[in-house]
Amino acid sequence: MAFHSTPDGGFEIDADDAFSKVVSAIDTLLEKTNKLKAEIDLVASSAFWHSFVGVNAKGSPTTKVLGWADTRSRAETAVLRKRFDEVQTHNRTGARFHSSYWPAKLLWFRKEQAEVFEKTARWLSFSDYVWLKLFGDAITGVSMASGTGVFDIRKCEWDGELLRFLKIKAGTLSSIAPNDAMTSRLGKVFAKRWPRLANAEWIPAIGDGAADNLGSGCIARNQAALMIGTSAAIRVSYAGKPPAKIPKGLWCYRVDRKRLVIGGALSDGGGLYRWLNENLRLPADAEAQILIRPPGAHGLTFLPFLGGERGTGYHENAAGTILGLRSANDSIDILQAAMESVAFRIAAIFGQLNKIADIQYIVASGGALRDSPIWAQILADVLGRDLTLSSADESSSRGAVLHAIESKGKIGSINSQSAADVKVTAANRNRFNAFSEARRAHAALYKLLINRED
């Protein structure tokens, strides 16, 4: 399911095309498992946070599905910051004002696409749209709702203050599931299509980042899940209340009504690597060459904001930057500087996380890290912490299943389900010291160009 970028900052996918891919995936799964005799009685899922789609009164899409990287509403962030005390709103909703969240997108649609706004009866996450198509009503769990930026993470309800300003009624959003164990059954059309699932209970999706923490076994304050896929993130999840004051560079969402997930995300991770590989035509042994080069010896300072900035400054107009480029530099230098810069941004988030958690154990996952042992080593050396590489190919899927069976009382607690790990990437103290100077240069350029404190 690939989003399409547009020249004006759009990041979107057709709602019905995306839904057809979900249906096709379920078709394929059932076909490949048709010889299994076990009865399916519970279905779990995770979904990407921050998606946004409008539907009319008949449930047909009025917009594309906008993803987290859609920046067309970035000008509306200034409107929100002028109208509200961002610190207070952040502490209530767990989200800073930014184009990745719903408040800016709703303002943008009302201003720039008034006709679309008027004919839209409900605003949904993509997972809610799937729910609407499969079950006949748009229902969302607190996990998905908490990623919208219009949800009170302390009261577990839509945020009244923001809704009043946005002139949106709670009834035009998805219905919040009344409890974490609520389930639905398929409507007639899909029950007929998938008879093996006709009697199964379907539990609302949880956010993919929350699911990744559960699937990686990171469910305590001293455990962090570090993920590099297309984007990148580092998060801590635990049972309890949100921090009294959420650090300004972090977000805080819900796993469910008893657990939180708090951390920060970067818009550029594996997607940045792919972009560099395609445009610089990197040699096949690029990473082998990085392995024998000293940290930061290229003399470059790279800001990895090709997709804009989220953590830690949430600066809407940030762009990718390379400083110090000389004729002696080559494509490997640029790749190395880019990979190191992602690690520096993760380290900035890590520093804020450690203000509210004493992180002793980091589990790393994601396709980009599985495919790149050198990137895992760079991260370990920049953080000065050993990384345990998760053996789960799909830690988010594992986490969604664990959450579902715990919610339905089929296991006592997720805490009792250990996650298998494969190997540890040990931090190198000498490389950590060498990276410190490069990280200071990175921080100085960040403050100069972004004009925000970390």
Say yes or no: 214 and 91 in one domain. Answer: no
Q: Among the three residues 140, 174, 204, which one is the final residue of a domain in this structure?
A: 204
Could you give the maximum distance between any two Cα atoms of the chain, in Å? 66
Would you list the DSSP string of 108-169? Answer: HHHHH-HHHHHH--EEE-HHHHHHHHHHSS-EE-HHHHHTSSSEETTTTEE-HHHHHHHT--
Q: How far apart are CA 105 and CA 70, in angstroms?
A: 9
Q: Which residues contact 421 (CB under 8 A, 6 or more apart)?
A: 363, 388, 389, 390, 391
**pLDDT value at 38 more than 50:** yes
Q: What is the pLDDT of residues 421-437, one digit of tens each?
A: 668 899 999 999 999 98
Say yes or no: 196 and 335 in one domain. Answer: no
- pLDDT at position 60 is 97
- In this prediction, residues 251-263 reach a mean pLDDT of 97
The pLDDT mean for the chain works out to 93
Say yes or no: 426 and 282 in one domain. Answer: yes
**pLDDT value at 168 more than 50:** yes
- pLDDT at position 418 is 62
306 to 76, 219, 260, 275: CA distances (angstroms): 20, 31, 29, 9
> Which of 274-283, 293-302, 414-423 is least confident?
414-423
pLDDT band, residue 37 (cuts 50/70/90): confident
Count helices and strands (H / E) in the chain. 17, 22
- In this prediction, residues 230-255 reach a mean pLDDT of 95
- pLDDT at position 1 is 67
Single pTM value for the model:
0.92
Q: Which helix (H) or strand (E) holds 300?
A: none
Q: What is the pLDDT of residues 207-218, one digit of tens each?
A: 999 999 999 889
**pLDDT value at 454 more than 50:** no
DSSP state of 174: P
Q: What is the pLDDT of residues 41-69, one digit of tens each?
A: 999 999 999 999 999 999 999 999 999 99
Identify residue 353 by its one-letter amino acid code.
L
- pLDDT at position 256 is 96
**pLDDT value at 415 more than 80:** no
Say yes or no: 176 and 322 in one domain. Answer: no
Q: What is the pLDDT of residues 319-365, one digit of tens each?
A: 899 999 999 999 999 999 999 999 999 999 999 999 999 899 999 98
409 to 387, 405, 406, 412: CA distances (angstroms): 32, 6, 5, 6
Say yes or no: 181 and 226 in one domain. Answer: no
Give me the CATH number covering residue 183.
3.30.420.40
State which residues form the domain around 391.
207-454
Say yes or no: 117 and 200 in one domain. Answer: yes
- pLDDT at position 49 is 95
Say yes or no: 313 and 194 in one domain. Answer: no
Strands 4-5 and 11-13, sheet pairing: antiparallel
Say yes or no: 150 and 277 in one domain. Answer: no
Q: Count the neighbouring beta carbons within 10 Å of the beta carbon of residue 292.
A: 6
Say yes or no: 258 and 109 in one domain. Answer: no
Q: Which helix (H) or strand (E) holds 189?
A: helix 188-193
- In this prediction, residues 14-35 reach a mean pLDDT of 96
- pLDDT at position 451 is 62
- pLDDT at position 452 is 52
Q: Among the three residues 148, 174, 204, which one is the final residue of a domain in this structure?
A: 204
pLDDT band, residue 420 (cuts 50/70/90): low
Say yes or no: 118 and 158 in one domain. Answer: yes
**pLDDT value at 453 more than 50:** no
- pLDDT at position 378 is 96
**pLDDT value at 93 more than 70:** yes
- pLDDT at position 40 is 93
Say yes or no: 59 and 127 in one domain. Answer: yes
**pLDDT value at 189 more than 60:** yes
Say yes or no: 156 and 56 in one domain. Answer: yes
**Whether the Cβ atoms of residue 342 and residue 268 lie closer than 8 Å to each other:** yes
Identify residue 448 by its one-letter amino acid code.
L
